[in-house]
Structure 1
Amino acid sequence: MQLSLLTIGKGRIKYLNDGVADYVKRISRYATFTQFEIKEERASRGLSPHEIAEKEGERILRRIRDNSYLVVLDDKGTSCSSKALASRLSDLGLRGESRICFVIGGAFGLSKQVVEKADWRLSLSTLTFPHEMARLVLLEQIYRAITIIRGENYHK
């Protein structure tokens, strides 16, 4: 299975970047994993939050491969337990979905076009996280799901 993560902007907080690097390394032992940091639109250009999300959305859509199963993080999406995430990823693999692409938007969220293209809108929590923190939480949950699928004892 090939997993990818598209995010807006670069991680700027060292301790979060360290955690991200750790989970990328862990996930990469079990699956092909790639990360793409997409340039964030500068708010200083006089654009509205909606226009910023639209411009970033265009960049995101250019990076998504046509045959990818698209999972977008969305506060209006469905939430699930770690075991349910593992089950969903396992089911996708059994259905022949070989590419799964996760997308985390920037400060102003995701454009309507990106959300509409999604196969699954996933909510990590009803709480709001900075997108850099959401990246770390998502990667930990992907790793946890993989270990659940494999029957390893990371998840207790």
Structure 2
Amino acid sequence: MKIQLWSVGKPHDRQLSASIEEFTVRLRKYYPAEWFIIAPPKHAASLQIADLKKQEGELVLNQLQATDFLVLLDEKGKMLSSIDLAAFIEQRATESTKRIVFLIGGAFGVDEPVRKRAQMVWSLSKLVFPHMLVRLILAEQLYRACSIIRGEKYHHI
């Protein structure tokens, strides 16, 4: 199983980049994992929000494969504990999922067709975080979940 972490927006912030990379490297001990930063459409600032979301959504949908399991990160999604996330990842592996795509949408969220394509909508918190921080939390939580699956000491129960 491969794990892909997609984020609509700008490249990793220099201040958080090292930490994001550290947890991504740790995650790779368990599964092939990589980041894809999807650049917003040109002239995004001049677009209406609905048009921006539509264009971002088309970029995302065009890159997804039919067999991808899409997890959309959204503040209105289902909340999971770290142990729940570990069970979710283990279930995907058991079902021989080829690729899980974790998507962090654009600044205004995602277009409805992307939401409908997602097999799961996951909320990290009821709080809203900057994209860069979400990237770090996502990488760390995926690493934590994998360490839970393997019974390693990183996660203290």
- Give the Cα separation in 2 of the matches to 1:44 and 1:33: 31
Equivalent position SS for 2:37: strand
TM-score normalised by L of structure 2: 0.94
* Alignment partner, residue 8 of structure 1: 8
Tell me the residue number matched to 2:19. Answer: 19
Give me the whole-angstrom Cα distance separating, in 1, the residues matched to 2:14 and 2:129: 17
TM-score (norm 1): 0.94
Q: Could you report, residue by residue, the CA deviation over 1:83-141 in whole angstroms, capped at 9, with x for unpaired residues?
A: 00001110111122131111001111111111110000000000001111111111110
Q: Which residue of 2 aligns with 1:28?
A: 28
Q: Does 1:43 align with 2:39?
A: no
1:12 Cα offset (Å): 4.7
Give me the CA root mean square deviation. 1.2
Question: Could you tell me how far 1:10 is from its partner in structure 2?
Answer: 2.5
1:112 aligned onto 2:122: no
Q: 1:11 Cα shift?
A: 3.1
Aligned runs of 1:109-148 on 2, under 5 Å? Answer: 109-148=109-148
CA distance in 1, matches of 2:154, 2:87: 16
Counting matched residue pairs gives 155
Residue segments in structure 2 that go unaligned for 5+ positions in a row = none
Structure 1 portions without partners, runs of 5+ = none
Cα distance in 2 for partners of 1:95, 1:66 equals 16
Once residues 51 and 26 of structure 1 are traced to their aligned partners in structure 2, the CA distance between those partners, rounded to angstroms, is 37
Output the CA distance in 1 between the equivalents of 2:65 and 2:5.
12
Percent identical among aligned pairs is: 37
Describe the shift of the 1:36–1:12 C-alpha distance in structure 2 as closer, same or farther (beyond 3 A): closer
Give the 3 Å change call, closer, same or farther, for CA 119–24 of structure 1 in structure 2: same
